[in-house]
């Protein structure tokens, strides 16, 4: 992995607060007509509300809190995301809760469509699926990556594709309902498993 690329990406990465402000400004500056006419903008508007809700209601499990309190070294989560991505809207707020609960984890977010070179280093089965969480150590060395969704949701996607051939609007709705019921638990478990192995 090109360490220079990681360094540059970390330098220009948004904090969670900056990322949310960027998304809100993009939405708030548009008229309701523009949002209706632009599908990605519409998704971003919906996802902004999802993230607001998760910021207020999501909680870390006792296991997650114990695990992050026992970290022996610092890490950075370098996350590739976009405001229009439904998976990112469900996952990034959980990553932020983890990062703000310990001084040992820093969170930086970069936009997929502005970071082509970084994205191509972390493809999922050849596709630019997001969010992608790149776990970086204190020397800015990549030690692992995760995403675009929790392992349970990944299995749901694969099973549905096998049965129906494609992911359709009906499945996307079901996936969002699953995220709502899961409340970030699966994301926490997957991330903690990776940190423990690092």
SS3 call for 136: strand
pLDDT in tens, 24-61: 998 878 888 887 788 888 899 999 999 999 999 999 99
Cα(124)–Cα(17) distance, rounded to whole angstroms? 27
Task: Report the predicted TM-score, pTM, of the whole model to 2 decimal places.
Answer: 0.94
Token pair 């969480």 is found at 133
Return contacts of 27-33, CB within 8 angstroms, 24+ apart. Answer: 27/83
Residue 108 belongs to a domain with what CATH number?
3.40.30.10
* Enclosing domain of residue 145: 3-197
Whether the bond into 131 is cis, omega within 30 of 0: yes
Residue 77: pLDDT band (50, 70, 90) is very high
Query: What average pLDDT does this structure show over 117-122?
Result: 96
What is the overall mean pLDDT for the chain? Answer: 94
Q: Give the number of domains in the chain.
A: 1
Count of CA atoms in the C-beta half-sphere (13 A) of 183: 7
């Amino acid at each position: 992995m090109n360490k220079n690329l990681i360094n540059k990406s970390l330098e220009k990465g948004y904090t969670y607060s900056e990322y949310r402000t960027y998304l809100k400004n993009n939405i708030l500056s548009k008229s309701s007509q523009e949002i209706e006419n632009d599908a990605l903008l519409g998704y971003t508007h919906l996802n902004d509300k999802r993230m607001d809700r998760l910021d207020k209601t999501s909680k870390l499990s006792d296991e997650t809190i114990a695990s992050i309190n026992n970290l022996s070294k610092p890490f950075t989560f370098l996350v590739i995301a976009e405001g229009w991505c439904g998976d990112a809207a469900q996952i990034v707020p959980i990553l932020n809760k983890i990062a703000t609960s310990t001084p040992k984890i820093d969170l930086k977010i970069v936009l997929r469509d502005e970071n082509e070179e970084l994205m191509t280093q972390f493809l999922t089965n050849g596709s630019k699926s997001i969010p992608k969480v790149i776990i970086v150590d204190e020397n800015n060395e990549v030690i692992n990556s995760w995403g675009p969704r929790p392992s349970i949701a990944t299995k749901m996607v694969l099973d549905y594709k096998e049965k129906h051939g494609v992911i359709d609007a009906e499945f996307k709705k079901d996936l969002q309902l699953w995220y709502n019921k899961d409340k970030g638990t699966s994301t926490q478990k997957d991330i903690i498993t990776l940190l423990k192995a690092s």
